[in-house]
Structure 1
């Protein structure tokens, strides 16, 4: 169950980053409340995952999911730049997350 919590925590980071982008584009204050709630849920899920998964591994995987997912969402939905180097480094993050999971 801890790995599910960890995956969900990373996904909530992605949702939080998407909401930050929406706030930066619109300036609507309701998005600030949503950001707060999303990151609270992310950290709660992360803390649940850390009951069975080592802190360093859990945090690295959670932030890797959030960072990689955030970049992919930016490229796909917000037409942010995509070049070979950027995609290579995102692939390295994803491979590293998979490697940490495999080693745990």
Structure 2
């Protein structure tokens, strides 16, 4: 169950990262509210997962899910660069996340 909570927390991290851009510096009310709700939910679920999982592993997985997901959606939604180096870097992050999961 802790791993499931951690994955959902990571997905919410992606949501709030994209929400930050959509809120335009918290100047737009609805995207700002969405971002804040996603932040609170993400932190809460991360805290619940950390009751069981090692802190370093849980935090790194949470950040990794958020980073990889945000970069991929930034490429797909916002037209961010999809250079070879960026994509290779994402693969390396994913490899690290798999390694952390296997070592946990």
TM-score (norm 1): 0.93
Equivalent in the alignment of 1:89: 89
SS, match of residue 38 in structure 2: helix
Equivalents in 2 of 1:23, 1:6: separation in Å? 25
**TM superposition outliers: structure 1 runs of 4+ over 3 Å:** none
Equivalent in the alignment of 2:67: 67
| Contact 2:2 2:52 (8 Å CA) reproduced | yes
Equivalents in 2 of 1:97, 1:21: separation in Å? 26
Pair 61,87 (structure 1): closer, same or farther in 2 beyond 3 Å: same
Over the aligned positions, Cα root-mean-square deviation in angstroms equals 1.5
SS, match of residue 24 in structure 2: helix
Equivalents in 2 of 1:77, 1:95: separation in Å? 24
| Contact 2:20 2:26 (8 Å CA) reproduced | no
Aligned residues: 104
Equivalents in 2 of 1:26, 1:58: separation in Å? 28
Equivalents in 1 of 2:78, 2:25: separation in Å? 11
Equivalent in the alignment of 1:54: 54
Within a 5 Å distance, the mapping from 1:1-104 to structure 2 comes to: 1-24=1-24, 27-104=27-104
Segments of 5+ residues of structure 1 without an aligned counterpart are none
TM-score (norm 2): 0.93
